[in-house]
Copies of this chain bind each other. A is one copy, B any other.
Amino acid sequence: MLETARERAMPRIDFWCEFASTYSYPAAMRIEARAAGQGVTVRWRPFLLGPLFFEQGWRDSPFNLYPVKGRYMWRDLERTCEALGLPLKRPQPFPQNSLLAARVALALDDLLRGRFSRAVYAAEFGEGRPIADRAVISDLVAGLGEKAEDVLARAESLENKAALKAACEEAKTLGLPGAPVCVTADGELFWGNDRLEQALDWATR
């Protein structure tokens, strides 16, 4: 997508999100409004945590591997969503396989990517819908006014698969410890829904 001169001059944040990640849900639902209020452009950067976790020796979500942490997280997420007025329905199983959603997000242009991403999070964590399901993803794409069949074909093209792999490599190089992470233009990482405000303040200071 072509950037206008005004957009180029605006501070920007890369919002690295993983569709299976719980705290990415509230962050994704509120980042655009907050960023707009501070004149910050958000670049949606879908990626997969799996390869990064694999390198740490984790073969599952740390929230499953460490149940004490998992129990805390679900209760904390409940309180977070309640405070934001967001519905919360725990997806089964957790984590959801997020590969298709990530590929589709990457295959869309910048504007649609944000809208699609929010739709995925709302379906998954607001309604408990299975986002690994092709029919669910097609439905969400159609909801954007796009032709699902075309978008999915693009999503599963070799180029797009390679683009997602490259994004995961970039995430690794950046040293992302989890998701969501806001990365500012000067390379600062802000991890978690609860670091959104600090990330935006940093980007505009």
Chain A residues within CB distance 8 Å of chain B? 52, 55-56, 66, 68-69, 71-72, 75-76, 79, 175-178, 188-191, 194-195, 198
Closest B residue by C-beta to A190 = B76
Chain B positions within 8 Å of A79 at CB level: 188, 198
Q: A191 contacts B72, CB within 8 Å?
A: yes
Q: B175 contacts A68, CB within 8 Å?
A: yes
CB of A76, distance to nearest CB on chain B (Å): 7
Chain B positions within 8 Å of A68 at CB level: 52, 55-56, 175-177
User: Would you give 27 A-B contacts (Cβ < 8 Å), ordered by A?
Assistant: A52-B68, A55-B68, A56-B66, A56-B68, A56-B69, A66-B177, A68-B175, A68-B176, A68-B177, A69-B177, A69-B178, A71-B175, A71-B177, A72-B175, A72-B177, A72-B189, A72-B191, A75-B188, A75-B189, A76-B189, A76-B190, A76-B191, A76-B195, A79-B188, A79-B198, A194-B194, A194-B195
CB of A82, distance to nearest CB on chain B (Å): 11
